[in-house]
């Protein structure tokens, strides 16, 4: 089954890190995946987005027409890309940064104040992991344990103290998607 995830936000919000971890998790679980990053000209704070395609079959092109899930870490990205979300898809919003309402009735909506949630857990930098939990809960395209294993590979040996924060952040996002 093919899933297209578009993740958007600003440089420094962990957009690319999240996209890479989603793609790596798919590959580690026997799927095919592509990761296509797009950066604005600014080094930090500029527009950032990536598209991750996950498929059981070989992926011919990394350029999809529509996405099945939009993960918006900021309002600019949300407004720019909500039109690319296919009917029946899911939108995961960081309401810390997205202050507008989702007007579309043909998509599933998951809203979480990811920045505040991550700060309460212990690191505002974990907001992208909160969003990952919400993505998992909204779509089921990944398993929680598989994503945690990807996080362990990325941070475990270098920064073991981050793993507990990341676990809590992932759980908070999952809980938001279930409500």
d(CA 3, CA 33): 10
Tokens of 59: 């992926």
d(CA 69, CA 137): 12
Taking only the tens place, the pLDDT of each residue in 100-153 is 788 899 999 999 999 999 999 999 999 999 999 999 999 999 999 999 988 888
The pTM of the full predicted model, rounded to 2 decimals, is 0.93
Boundaries of every domain in the chain: 3-178
CATH fold of 3-178 reads: Pyruvate-ferredoxin Oxidoreductase; domain 3 (3.40.920)
Q: Average of pLDDT values for 3-19?
A: 95
Q: CA neighbours within 13 Å on the CB side: how many for 141?
A: 31
């Amino acid at each position: 089954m093919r899933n297209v995830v578009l993740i958007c936000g600003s440089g420094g919000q962990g957009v690319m890190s999240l996209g890479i971890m989603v793609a790596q998790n798919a590959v580690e679980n026997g799927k095919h995946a592509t990761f296509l990053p797009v950066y604005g000209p600014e080094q930090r704070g500029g527009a950032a987005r990536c598209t991750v395609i996950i498929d059981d079959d070989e992926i011919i092109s990394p350029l999809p027409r529509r996405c099945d899930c939009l993960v918006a870490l900021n309002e600019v990205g949300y407004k720019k890309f909500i039109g690319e979300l296919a009917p029946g898809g899911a939108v995961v919003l960081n309401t810390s940064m997205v202050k507008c309402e989702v007007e579309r009735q043909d998509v599933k909506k998951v809203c979480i104040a990811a920045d505040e949630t991550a700060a309460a857990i212990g690191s505002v930098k974990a907001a992208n992991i909160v969003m990952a939990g919400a993505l998992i809960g909204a779509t089921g395209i990944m398993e929680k344990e598989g994503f945690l294993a990807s996080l362990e590979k990325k941070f475990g040996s270098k920064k073991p103290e981050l793993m507990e924060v990341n676990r809590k952040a992932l759980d908070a996002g999952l809980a938001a998607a279930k409500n």
